[in-house]
Amino acid sequence: MTRRNFHASVIALIAAGAIPASAQEPTLSIGMAAPITSLDPHEDSNSPNNATSRHIWDSLINRGGLAENKPQLATEWEVVDDTHWRFKLREGVTFHDGSSFDAEDVVVSLIRARDKESQAFASYTRNIADVTAEDDHTVVVETTVPDPMILNSLSRIRIISSEFADAPVSDFENGPAAVGTGPFKLVSYTPGDRIELERNEDYFAGPADWSRVTLRLVPDDGGRLASLLAGDLDLIENLPAEGVARVESNDDLKIIRGQSTRLVYLGMDVSRDQTPFATAKDGSPLDSNPFKDARVRKALLMAMNREAIVDRVMQKNGTVAHQFVAEGFFGHSGEVEEVGYDPEAAKALLAEAGYPDGFALTIHGPSGRYVNDSEVLQAAGQMFSRIGIDTKVEVMPWSVYSGKYSDGEYSLFLGSWGVNTGEVSNPALALVAARNADKGTGRYNGGGIDVPAINELLDQATSTLDEETREPLLQNVSAATFNDVWLLPMHYENVVLGAKNGIEFKPRGDKYTLAYEVHKAGE
Amino acid sequence: MVTTLIRRIIQAGFVILAMTVIVFLGVNVIGNPVDILINPDLNQAERLRVIENLGLDRPLWQQYLSFLHGLTEGNFGNSFVYSKPALDVILERLPATLELALCAMVIAIVVGLPLGLYAGLYPNRVSSRVIMTGSILGFSLPTFWVGLMLILLFAVQLGWLPSNGRGETAMLFGVRWSFLTWDGLSHLLLPALNLALFKTSLILRLTRAGVQEVIMQDYVKFARAKGLRENRIILVHILKNLMIPVVTIIGLEFGSLIAFSIVTESIFGWPGMGKLIIDSINLLDRPVIVAYLMMMVVLFVSLNFIIDVCYTLLDPRVRLDGKG
């Protein structure tokens, strides 16, 4: 072979290797907005962790974008009696290391998640009394009490191979134990930087569109946007508001929007007879707590132009809310009166309640915790001032704020709840049920709301297994909460992603960005 | 030299002790880690179990004593957030920060020192004036802005360099390094340049000022009169004598590069320690904060010691143990 021929053949070889490779092996890089804290799927429960673990592991139940329960590793299930559920497991499923999936893996995983010292999944496992394998592909889950949320809970718990029941966190992060049945296999994890995944060709629901996926952890808004503009990332979470125009004006990029289940609301002190941060305009104390009067609460809601807040302050990254969950989610009520912006009527209501000249108020909120949280609070404060309530706004870092607002230190405060079950009992139990340490209700009820009718409805709803009886109960909870304005609903945060034009993705209510659900356009 | 070293170590011990007390008290003043760390869906009983598991149910002084006890066994405690030993969490990020800081420092020295020397030797040339004006820019432009401009220019507009992240790494001594691969180097370049800009200006101006002071000294004039070659005068008589302040600054700035390059690390998504400490403060992850600050005290104390040793090498009149 002459030297010239040799060169030509090398080039040909390289070309032959390179061109089909790039055509056949589609890769996807996703910019995640929040870093994960652990790759052990049972160690810590937060959105980035749980979204990441879904790439590698499956659960018994598959949670859809509207929080609906669909089969995943369980193909069907039945209620045996009030406290026993039987699940048929999918056959022929293998883990990434080739071992086959059976009932033993389910038993081990559920018990491991329940008994982990970190107790991160306790809210999902607290009612699991025992899990037993009837045969290789049938398990029975025994609950301590009738638990209508058990399917939802099981959709949260990833099934690991029983071999790694006692594996420490580091084994999951360095790879050996990171073996699931999910659509992707772990290649490597660099803390604070990236998670590299490759396609599981044998995935039971069919292989993903992408042979390689990189989840980049880029919490910095500017950095994430720049990487999208530079073409280093194909899809980014939480497109910052200041980047909307740049992405819109770029022919190769697009914005993907959807509604999340995160509700932002204002809570009020409705329990004390005198509330610390509401005074007469001259600073002297008021005779009574104005927020105990439903007319004052409604006036506050009417005073706010929430359309404008969503449109300008939130840069369309939100949708006006009227109750816990939007239409289509379990427990949404058609009976909730939608209160619009009407400052004149608000003033009239205030006068009727005995505050014709308003009063002075200091409102509190976190800064940097939720999308544009302090700006939203400032806008609300200005709108209150326009109906005669002289409002001062105080914001503070989340680490300072978080303990105080839930303990009822403030008179009017900004709060938020990610409705991660996608149904009403979850936010209602935490935010408006009376505080009761034994039952574990009202933990974030910072206003001290205690309405017997609501408590009663929730008691029934949490012990009813039948979905058809349960739904009207929860709908009544929504109506009772918002028609008496116990909370001022502000908006649901939107899911806003920036993407290359060739990418298609339908945002999910839980804000998870799952590579398996990302598709190439036109396929 | 050995007695000095021992004295320094004892001093560092006291500084560290004082600092752990401050961090323990400080974190408690900011807020309760429990409110931030615990999943809001947990009920009271489950919360109590987690609090107990984290050891936060005991009074602060007991927590502090058991922390000191762990310290004697080389255990800084488990990170509240990452559920791993705090030291491991930090050491995982150390190589990334170290190579970024080293790279930036090398750029700063390689560019800053010769340019400063040049500007000091020939202060009236136009090129010297241009260099000095440029250094003012290097001083006054904010790091985050320069970083974003570098990304916009080189990554978004020209598309020459990647915008973000650490890129491919290769193993050396059991640690992953970026500078060993082309892809890693290309990721390293922009953040290193961004960090180096300020340091370059600093070294440049310091060198120039030093040159102008030294060049007036009698021994330089004498060396000239003896007819020594210009190169020898510059390298031996001028450079060596102006190095003491420069070395001091290089040492201290290197420390601050390692400890506080938070802005650059955030903008370029560099998975280093600066980002980690800010996250840990926001999440009140006390074990990581304590371990990190302890490492930084040790780092600065040892850097200062190295600087002192350098003094004795540069100037034989300086003695470590003596009064001089």
- Burial (CB count <10 Å: 0-12, 13-18, 19+), residue A111: middle
Mean pLDDT on B187-214: 89
pLDDT score, position A413: 95
Average pLDDT for A177-184 = 93
B273 has a chain A CB within 8 A of its CB: no
B269 CB neighbours in chain A (<8 A) are 193, 216-218, 220, 223-224, 227
Highest mean pLDDT among A51-60, B216-225, B227-236: A51-60
Distance from C-alpha of A318 to C-alpha of A496, rounded to nearest angstrom: 9
Flag if A191 and B83 touch (Cβ within 8 Å): no
- Check if B284 contacts A (Cβ < 8 Å): yes
Separation in Å, CA of A36 to nearest CA in chain B: 9
Whether A331 and A325 have beta carbons less than 8 Å apart is answered as yes
CA A255 to chain centre: 20
How far is residue B3 from each of residues B6, B10, B305, measured CA to CA in Å?
5, 11, 12
**Residue A243 C-alpha, separation from nearest chain B C-alpha, in angstroms:** 13
Query: Which residues on A lie below 8 Å from B31 (Cβ)?
Result: 399-400, 402-403
What mean pLDDT is reported for chain B?
Answer: 83
Q: Is A67 exposed, middle or buried (0-12, 13-18, 19+ CB in 10 A)?
A: buried
Res A12: pLDDT? 44
CB of B87 within 8 Å of a chain A CB? The answer is no
Residues A250-280: pLDDT tens digits? 899 999 998 888 999 999 999 999 999 999 9
Calpha distance B275→B323 (Å, rounded)? 41
Contacts of A224 in chain B (CB under 8 A): 164, 269
Instruction: Check residue A201 and report its DSSP letter.
Output: T
**How many Å apart are CA A263 and CA A431, to the nearest integer?**
11
Are the C-beta atoms of B164 and A232 separated by less than 8 Å? Answer: yes
Average pLDDT rounded to a whole number, residues A168-197: 89
Measured between beta carbons, which residues in chain A are less than 8 angstroms from residue B151?
A: 222-223, 226, 230
**A233, A224 contact by CB (below 8 A):** yes
Cβ–Cβ gap A192/B53 under 8 Å: no
C-alpha to C-alpha distance for A346 and A339, rounded to whole angstroms: 11
Predicted confidence at residue A18, as pLDDT, reads: 41
pLDDT exceeds cutoff 70 at A241:
yes
What are the b/e assignments for B167-179, b being 16+ CB within 10 Å?
bebeeeeeebbbb
Quote the percentage of chain A above a pLDDT of 70.
Answer: 95
User: Which of A190, A216, A440 shows the shortest C-beta gap to B44?
Assistant: A440
Indicate the pLDDT class of residue A218, thresholds 50, 70 and 90. confident
Closest Cβ opposite residue B267 in set A117, A170, A220:
A220
Residues in A closer than 8 angstroms to B51, CB to CB, are none
Q: What one-character DSSP code corresponds to residue B237?
A: I
Mean pLDDT of A460-473: 88
Size of interface A-B (CB pairs under 8 A): 150
> Distance between CA B67 and CA B63 in Å, rounded?
6
Q: What is the pLDDT of residue B320?
A: 64
Do A186 and A210 meet the contact criterion of CB atoms below 8 Å apart?
no
Q: Do A192 and B152 touch (CB under 8 A)?
A: no
Residues of B in contact with A399 (CB under 8 A): 30-31, 36, 281-284
Say yes or no for a CB contact (<8 Å) between B148 and A226: yes
Sheet strands (E) in A200-341 = 212-217, 235-236, 253-268, 278-279, 318-320
Q: Which residues of A296-316 are buried (b: 16+ CB within 10 A; e: fewer)?
A: bbbbbbbbbbbeebbeebbbe
Interface confidence, given as ipTM, is 0.76
The strand ranges marked E within B43-197 are: 170-172, 175-177
| pLDDT tier for residue A117 given thresholds of 50, 70 and 90 | confident
Whether B92 has its CB under 8 Å from any CB of chain A: the answer is: yes
The CA distances from residue A419 to A353, A423, A461, B290, in Å, are: 33, 7, 17, 35
Which CA distances in Å does B276 have to A183, A266, A369, B54, B279?
30, 32, 18, 20, 5
Is B282's CB within 8 Å of A398's CB?
A: yes
pLDDT score of A260: 86
pLDDT confidence of residue A306: 95
B150 CA to chain A: closest CA distance, Å? 11
Tell me whether residues B40 and A444 touch, CB distance under 8 A: yes
User: Each residue of B96-142: pLDDT tens digit?
Assistant: 888 899 999 999 999 999 999 898 888 888 988 898 888 888 888 88
* CA-wise closest residue to B166 among B251, B70, B273, B271: B271
CB contact under 8 A, B35 and A230: no
For A42-58, the pLDDT digits (tens) are 988 888 899 999 999 99
Rounded Cα distance, A269 and A409, in Å: 9
Contact between chains at A231 and B159 (C-beta distance less than 8 A): yes
For A439-453, write each residue's pLDDT tens digit.
878 888 989 999 999
Length of chain B: 324
Across A120-138, average pLDDT:
89
What's the average model confidence in pLDDT over A1-8? Answer: 46
- Closest residue to B84, CB basis, from A170, A223, A229: A170
Which chain B residue has its CA at the smallest distance from A440's CA? B43
- Residues in Cβ contact with B186 at an 8 Å cutoff, skipping those fewer than 6 apart: B161, B162, B167
pLDDT value for A6:
44
Residue A190 has its nearest CB partner, among B40, B162, B166, at B166
CB-CB neighbours of A116 under 10 Å = 18
pLDDT at A20: 41
Q: Tell me what the mean pLDDT of segment A300-324 comes to.
A: 92
Residue A142 · residue A84 · CB < 8 Å: yes
Q: Which of A184-201 are b and which e, b meaning 16 or more Cβ less than 10 Å from the residue's Cβ?
A: bbbebbbbbbbbbbbbbe
The per-residue pLDDT for range B34-83, each reduced to its tens digit, is 777 777 777 777 888 888 888 888 888 888 888 888 888 878 888 888 88
In chain B, which residues have their Cβ closer than 8 Å to the Cβ of A397? Answer: 282
DSSP, residue by residue, A302-347:
HH--HHHIIIIISTT-EEE-SSSS-TTSBT--TTS------HHHHH
What average pLDDT does the segment B211-221 reach? 84
Residues 6+ apart with CB under 8 A from B20: B64, B67, B68, B290, B294
* Tens-digit pLDDT profile for residues A483-494: 999 999 999 998
Looking at the DSSP bridge assignments, the partners of residue B175 are: B172
Alpha-carbon span A168 to A40, nearest angstrom: 8
Chain mean position to CA B66: 30
Lowest-confidence range among A134-138, B180-184, B289-293? B180-184
The angle at the Cα of B73, spanning B67 to B77, to the nearest 5 degrees, equals 40
CB contact under 8 A, B39 and A430: no
* Model confidence, pTM: 0.79
Of A359-373, B91-105, B176-190, the least confident: B176-190
CA distance to partner chain B, nearest, from residue A365 (Å): 15
A283 band by pLDDT with thresholds 50, 70 and 90: confident
Instruction: Evaluate if residue A1 carries a pLDDT over 50.
Output: no
pLDDT at residue A132, rounded to an integer: 93
Minimal C-alpha gap between B189 and chain A (Å): 16
Residues B167, B190: Cα–Cα separation, whole Å? 12
Helices (H), A369-466: 373-386, 398-406, 425-431, 452-461
Chain A within 8 Å of B176 (Cβ-Cβ)? yes
Q: Do A440 and B40 touch (CB under 8 A)?
A: no
CB A384 within 8 A of CB B12: no
Yes or no, beta carbons of A119 and B176 under 8 Å apart: no
The residue that leads in pLDDT, B7 or A7, is B7
The pair phi, psi for residue A505, each rounded to 5°, is -155, 135
d(CA B27, CA A51): 30
Closest approach of A449 to chain B, Cα-based (Å)? 18
DSSP state of B270: -
d(CA B41, CA B296): 37
Query: What is the C-alpha separation between A472 and A457, in angstroms, rounded?
Result: 10
A316 — alpha (psi -120 to 50), left (phi > 0) or beta? Answer: left
Residue A9: pLDDT over 70: no
Amino acid letter for position A103:
A
Pairing mode, if any, of strands A360-367 and A412-418? parallel
Residues of B in contact with A437 (CB under 8 A): 44
A147 phi, psi to nearest 5 deg? -125, 100
User: What would the pLDDT profile of A381-434 be if each residue is shown by its tens digit?
Assistant: 999 999 999 999 999 988 788 878 888 899 999 999 988 788 899 899 999 999
Is A119 within 8 Å of B43 when comparing Cβ atoms? no
Contact A70, A201 (CB under 8 A): no
Q: Inter-chain contact B89–A229, Cβ cutoff 8 Å?
A: no
Is the distance from CB of B309 to CB of B320 less than 8 angstroms? yes
Q: Range with the lowest mean pLDDT among A20-34, A225-239, B80-94?
A: A20-34
pLDDT at A15 over 50: no
| Bridge partner list, A195 | A189, A215
